[in-house]
């Protein structure tokens, strides 16, 4: 369990993290997102004790990380694995030697070390690559080696800092599948830092969004993305904005349950209300724990009350979309 309360991290007078509060339970997969420079890597470094913090508390399994010194600190860090975008393998060492590095550091006996390396190679599905050098591997294979090395000491927590950002999307997906398997079979808590929202959606249960060092949004992934708060909309950027002519009414986001989504909601609504609706977007997104469907429709102002009534009667959840274009125009003035 990771408990963060009022955490602040400053570099001189620059506030890299300000008043962060988070609770992460053991064995779950958490997403940490935010623009470049929002403090994600800094937060990971606070969690694994590689950097200190000025204010607040950060406890891992009840232990205040900043209070650890010397051997205690090293043992604590042994319990936290980390993987990076650039893999960080040693080029002159082969795959087995790279994976064995942490065990060597902790002076494991040679036989135990070889056994563990075999196990790990099996786990990351590279059983016959032991003798290869990093330069002979593809990006995805390199990241598998880095994962094996990160898991060598049986960590309780695995931190992934943009671990799939340098990979092709389909390779990135296989790496995330591997991490999901590892999470399920070993019960390791995983924190995924990424700017790839598809990766996030497929792998995480809970998400924290940082903006300029502050926690700007948080929640479970399906509710966050089905009704994105302002900060998440800003991160998703223009591609997520709907192209609606706002003078002509309100844009509603319908959020049917999976059962409701199987039925022809829109055509029924149009027939029963005797009105036509423009569909601006409809999508079904796959998440780790199921799919979410949403429909964006444009509703003429004069029939808005009738539509809302109908949705209420049918027990279909909805929300009005904020008027992004108007807001941008205001900002521009
Ligand atoms: P992210 O991982 O979200 O891109 P970082 O955590 O790396 O962001 O950085 C957050 C902010 O803190 C950035 O503005 C960065 O320039 C600054 N920063 C990070 N490390 C240092 C450091 N060692 N000294 C000074 N500023 C730093
Ligand atoms: Mg970073």
- pLDDT tens sequence across 17-38: 999 999 999 999 999 999 889 9
Residue 120 Cα to ligand 2 midpoint, Å, equals: 27
pLDDT of the residue at 267: 85
Atom 13 of ligand 1, residue of closest alpha carbon: 37
Please write the tens of the pLDDT for every residue from 99-117.
Answer: 999 999 999 999 999 999 9
Q: Which ligand is nearest to the CA of 37?
A: 1
What lines the ligand 1 site, CB under 6 Å? Answer: 11, 14, 16, 34, 36-42
With a pLDDT cut of 70, the percent of the chain lying above it is 94
Atom 20 of ligand 1, residue of closest alpha carbon: 42
pLDDT of the residue at 4: 98
Q: What is the mean predicted confidence (pLDDT) over 191-212?
A: 90
With a pLDDT cut of 90, the percent of the chain lying above it is 63
Q: How confident is the model at residue 240 (pLDDT cuts 50, 70, 90)?
A: low
Q: Which residue has the higher pLDDT, 95 or 238?
A: 95
Asked if pLDDT for residue 238 goes beyond 60, the answer is no
pLDDT of the residue at 118: 97
Q: What is the mean pLDDT of the chain?
A: 89
CA distances for 103 relative to 83, 115, 160, angstroms: 17, 11, 20
Best mutation site among 8, 14, 16, 45 for ligand 1 pocket (most ligand atoms within 8 Å of CB) = 16
The whole-angstrom separation of Cα 266 and Cα 243 is 20
Atom 1 of ligand 1, residue of closest alpha carbon: 37
pLDDT of the residue at 211: 95
Please write the tens of the pLDDT for every residue from 285-316.
Answer: 777 777 778 888 888 888 899 999 999 999 99
Q: Would you say 278 and 297 are in contact if contact means Cβ atoms under 8 Å apart? A: yes
Asked if pLDDT for residue 326 goes beyond 60, the answer is no
Please write the tens of the pLDDT for every residue from 171-196.
Answer: 888 999 999 999 999 999 999 998 77
Which residues neighbour 267 within 8 Å (Cβ) at sequence distance 6 or greater?
none
Nearest ligand 1 atom to the CA of 34 is 3
What the block records as the tokens of 216 is: 């700007």
Residue 37 Cα to ligand 1 midpoint, Å, equals: 6
Q: Would you say 39 and 234 are in contact if contact means Cβ atoms under 8 Å apart? A: no
Q: How confident is the model at residue 92 (pLDDT cuts 50, 70, 90)?
A: very high
Range with lowest mean pLDDT among 47-51, 62-66, 299-303, 321-325: 321-325
Please write the tens of the pLDDT for every residue from 242-281.
Answer: 666 656 688 898 989 888 888 888 888 988 988 888 888 8
The whole-angstrom separation of Cα 95 and Cα 271 is 64
Asked if pLDDT for residue 50 goes beyond 60, the answer is yes
Residue 327 Cα to ligand 1 midpoint, Å, equals: 30
The whole-angstrom separation of Cα 310 and Cα 313 is 5
Atom 19 of ligand 1, residue of closest alpha carbon: 42
Q: What is the mean predicted confidence (pLDDT) over 211-222?
A: 94
């Amino acid at each position: 369990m990771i408990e963060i309360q009022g955490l602040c991290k400053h570099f001189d007078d620059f506030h890299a993290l300000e008043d962060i509060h988070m609770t992460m339970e053991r064995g779950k997969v958490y997403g940490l997102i935010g623009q470049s420079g929002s403090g994600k890597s800094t937060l990971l470094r606070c969690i694994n004790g590689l950097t200190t913090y000025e204010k607040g508390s950060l406890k891992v399994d009840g232990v205040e990380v900043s209070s650890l010194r010397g051997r205690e600190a090293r043992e604590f860090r042994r319990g936290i694995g980390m993987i990076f975008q650039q893999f960080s393998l040693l080029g002159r060492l082969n795959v087995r030697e790279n994976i064995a590095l942490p065990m060597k550091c902790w002076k494991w006996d040679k036989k135990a070390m070889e056994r563990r390396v075999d196990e790990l190679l099996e786990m990351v599905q590279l059983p016959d690559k032991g003798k290869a050098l990093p330069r002979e591997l593809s990006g995805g294979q390199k990241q598998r080696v880095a994962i094996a090395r990160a898991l060598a000491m049986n960590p309780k927590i695995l931190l992934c800092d943009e671990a799939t950002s340098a990979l092709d999307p389909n390779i990135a997906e296989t790496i995330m599948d591997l991490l999901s398997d590892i999470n399920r079979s070993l019960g390791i808590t995983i924190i995924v830092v990424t700017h790839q929202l598809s990766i996030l959606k497929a792998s995480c249960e809970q998400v924290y969004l940082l903006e300029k060092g502050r926690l700007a949004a948080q929640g479970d992934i399906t509710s966050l993305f089905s009704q994105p708060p302002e900060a998440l909309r800003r991160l998703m950027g223009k591609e997520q904005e709907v192209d609606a002519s706002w003078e002509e009414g309100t844009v509603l986001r319908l959020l049917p349950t999976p059962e409701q989504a199987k039925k022809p909601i829109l055509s029924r609504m149009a027939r029963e209300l005797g009105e036509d609706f423009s569909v601006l977007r409809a999508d079904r997104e796959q998440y780790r724990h199921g799919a979410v469907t949403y429909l964006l429709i444009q509703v003429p102002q004069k029939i808005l009350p009738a539509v809302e009534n109908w949705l209420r009667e049918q027990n279909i959840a909805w929300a009005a979309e904020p008027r992004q274009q108007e807001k941008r125009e205001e900002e521009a003035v």
